[in-house]
Amino acid sequence: MRDLTFPELIQALQERGYRPVEQNMQAAMTEPAAWGRRTVRKALDRSVDGERAGSDDSAFNGTIQRALGVGELWTRGFAPGAAYWLLPGLGR
């Protein structure tokens, strides 16, 4: 038996008459793309908060924060060119 993708899981649940009780699952079933963006956004927001709260002085600290920032912009629908504007060395 193979693993289902998330869209396949949602479709299978709908086909079998599953009725979500929890609001988050209801959103996942009615608007899976929007639910996915919100979920990724929450994860990125929490990661950014964790990075800012940490006292890590490693060489990658600024790079990680910029990458998380680009991810946040992307999940909010910011233009794809933002990555090149924020990380000018990316295109080289």
pLDDT tens by residue, 42-62: 888 788 777 777 666 666 667
Q: What residues have CB less than 8 Å from 18, skipping those under 6 apart?
A: 29
Structure tokens at 56: 């890590």
Q: What is the rounded CA–CA span in Å between residue 23 and residue 51?
A: 29
Q: What is the rounded CA–CA span in Å between residue 15 and residue 75?
A: 29
18 has a pLDDT exceeding 90: yes
The pLDDT value recorded for residue 33 is 84
